[in-house]
Amino acid sequence: MMHRDCAMTMSKLHILGIAGTFMGGVAALARELGRVVEGSDQNIYPPMSTQLETLGITLKQGYLPDHITADCDDIIIGNALSRGNPAVEAVLDAGRRYTSGAEWLREQVLPGRDVLAVAGTHGKTTTTTILAFLLEAAGRAPGFLIGGVAEDFGASARLGKGREFVVEADEYDTAFFDKRSKFVHYRPLVAILNNLEYDHADIFPDVAAIQRQFHHLVRTVPGRGRLIVNGHDARLAEVLAMGCWTPVERFGFDPAFEWSAHKLAEDGSRFVVLHDGAEVGIVEWPLLGDHNVLNGLAALAACNAVGVDSSRVVEALASFRSVKRRLEVIGKHGDITVYDDFAHHPTAIHTTLAGLRAKVGNARIVVAMEPRSNSMRLGAHAEALAPSLDLADDVVFLARPELPWDAGKVIAALKGEGRAVTDVDALLVALRGLVRSGDHVVFMSNGGFDGAPRRFFAALSNTP
């Protein structure tokens, strides 16, 4: 794979919204292409801030017009920014050249590559990471852009020297000036469709609107490519019924599917992989839950679609280390274990806790929950939150004063114990008061959570 060598590669760009997981990956790719990169964001926190600082990228807090230096040739605008943002208004008024992260990726990185795109309401980041890991194990040296920092690569993005490029394919909109889903820009050869549920209530009125965007993605996959589809998902079947021009392979627990799994351990840490009914191999890995079994199946099927013998790489998953903030163990103090989990949707919360429950048995699970995604904050998932937390013994719910719905109804509907607090300091105090020997404490938020997981573990570690 040859990288572009031209005067333009040494030009400078500014990324508005650089600390987001996607835009941070774009920044890493731009640096690898030889671009000088600077950026600004409203909220800058690990692990993305750490990656950006390691790359030598200047980060500026806030969206002030003066943060964009005059010698920037291009400005990439993240989808978190809207009209009225002072930096956006300054760019428009000055007539400066701007684009979106997805379009920049399409133009600067993807031409000439075999793109493998991973789409779905849940599991995109983990599946993308598994797929990149398997291709690496097969000697393909893939490029990738992942919505999180992959432990096995130590980064969220790289160009790679091979033909394949693996991209996390998000259905969220592209930018204030391009309301299509980001994934329509990627033109993949292989697309994984993991699942489809209602989410992103700030931009989608209903499930049908999301299905239309998924069908736009389906329309871009060529006939020589492959669609790897969760066979259990009725909404994805409805998407394919809207028109499909590409061979489809289904994955799931049904042995009638092209790719199926038979669990050897209830917690999903050990399972048999079958392709067209024939055993490919046995996966033994550190991941938990049925959702991760499906993620692994999808990644193996996608590898096979680009010519990798799955039986040769399946055993490599024993050493897979996943992604930061996916039920990541922050540490253990005595026999109390503290986890950090990127939770954005009730289904993801439930499946994560189900996997942990299967592993820890009757041990107590304590959840610290922040409703942080746009859909969560708008209340789109409020009724489903309490059922999603059924497997927790105790919940401390962060209901900030600006939350526009009544968290008390969620607390009242919990199966276990629960309480709501209004700030992180109060949450940490509440946790210290209820946690006891043998507990598994899971922090669940798709934001920075004001550093709560590590602050709590530090407090535990300082306890005599």
Tens digits of per-residue pLDDT, 343-376? 767 888 888 898 889 888 999 999 998 887 655 5
- What residues are paired with 397 via a beta bridge? 369, 420
Mean pLDDT of the chain: 89
Mean pLDDT for 418-427 is: 91
| pLDDT computed for residue 30 by the predictor | 95
| pLDDT computed for residue 7 by the predictor | 39
**Is pLDDT above 90 for 270?**
yes
| pLDDT computed for residue 281 by the predictor | 96
Q: Are 221 and 192 in contact (CB under 8 A)?
A: no
Q: Are 347 and 197 in contact (CB under 8 A)?
A: yes
Statement: the pTM of the whole predicted model exceeds 0.85: no
Q: Are 366 and 393 in contact (CB under 8 A)?
A: yes
Mean pLDDT for 201-211 is: 83
pLDDT one-digit tens code per residue, 63-120: 999 999 999 999 999 999 999 999 999 999 999 999 999 999 999 999 999 999 999 9
- What residues are paired with 275 via a beta bridge? 259, 278
Architecture per CATH, 7-101:
3-Layer(aba) Sandwich (3.40)
| pLDDT computed for residue 309 by the predictor | 95
Tell which wins on pLDDT, 376 or 209.
209
Closest CA to 169 of 200, 132, 124, 208: 124
| pLDDT computed for residue 1 by the predictor | 45
| pLDDT computed for residue 354 by the predictor | 86
**Is pLDDT above 60 for 22?**
yes
pLDDT tier, 183 (very low <50, low <70, confident <90, very high otherwise): very high
DSSP line for 63-117: --GGGS-TT-SEEEE-TT--TT-HHHHHHHHHT--EEEHHHHHHHHT-TTSEEEE
Mean pLDDT for 296-325 is: 91
| pLDDT computed for residue 378 by the predictor | 56
Backbone angles phi, psi at 313, to 5 degrees: -115, -10
In the chain, the percentage of residues whose pLDDT exceeds 70 is 93
Mean pLDDT for 161-172 is: 95
**Is pLDDT above 70 for 246?**
yes
Structural fold of domain 328-461: Protein-Tyrosine Phosphatase; Chain A (3.90.190)
- What sign for the dihedral angle of Cα 91, 93, 96, 97? positive
Q: How many CB atoms are closer than 10 A to CB 433?
A: 9
pLDDT one-digit tens code per residue, 427-447: 999 999 999 999 999 998 877
Backbone angles phi, psi at 395, to 5 degrees: -130, 130
- Return the top range by mean pLDDT from 193-207, 226-240, 424-438: 226-240
How do strand 178-181 and strand 173-175 relate by DSSP bridges?
Answer: antiparallel
Mean pLDDT for 28-34 is: 94
Closest CA to 228 of 272, 287, 169: 169
| pLDDT computed for residue 404 by the predictor | 77
Fold identical between 7-101 and 328-461? no
- Domain residue ranges of the chain, discontinuous segments joined by +: 7-101, 110-319, 328-461
pLDDT one-digit tens code per residue, 36-64: 999 999 877 677 778 788 888 888 999 99
Mean pLDDT for 318-334 is: 82
| pLDDT computed for residue 2 by the predictor | 41
110-319: in CATH 1.10.10.10: no
Tell which wins on pLDDT, 147 or 272.
272
| pLDDT computed for residue 463 by the predictor | 66
Q: Are 341 and 352 in contact (CB under 8 A)?
A: yes
Q: How far is CA 378 from CA 203, 299, 367, 375, 444, in A?
A: 11, 33, 21, 5, 17
| pLDDT computed for residue 205 by the predictor | 81
Q: 313 in helix, strand or coil? A: helix
| pLDDT computed for residue 9 by the predictor | 46
